[in-house]
Amino acid sequence: MSSECPTASELRQGITVELVQGDQDIQSEDSEPLIGEIGTIYEDDPAGPKVELKNGAVGHVQSIVHDE
């Protein structure tokens, strides 16, 4: 994961991102990011933009997943 989170203006519905859910410690070595497509973008937050994925998970975006 990148150390700098994207901003809400860099996101759009349908792109794939890594996110950490609100009940996880973002700095924890044990926290596994969820990967999925954005369904709804809520707002910017110091922990990363808050979004809801199409699978229903809500959390803070840590990075955008780019196709290789």
How far apart, in whole angstroms, are the C-alpha atoms of residue 6 and residue 44? 9
The whole-number pLDDT of residue 46 equals: 87
The whole-number pLDDT of residue 6 equals: 93
How far apart, in whole angstroms, are the C-alpha atoms of residue 16 and residue 64? 6
Q: What is the pTM of this model?
A: 0.79
Residue 58 has pLDDT above 90, yes or no: yes
Report, as an integer, the average pLDDT of 40-67. Answer: 92
How far apart, in whole angstroms, are the C-alpha atoms of residue 27 and residue 43? 21
Domains of the chain, residue spans: 8-64
Instruction: Quick: pLDDT tens for 13-46.
Output: 999 999 988 666 555 555 678 899 999 999 898 8
- Run of H or E including 63: strand 58-64
- Side chain identity, residue 9: S
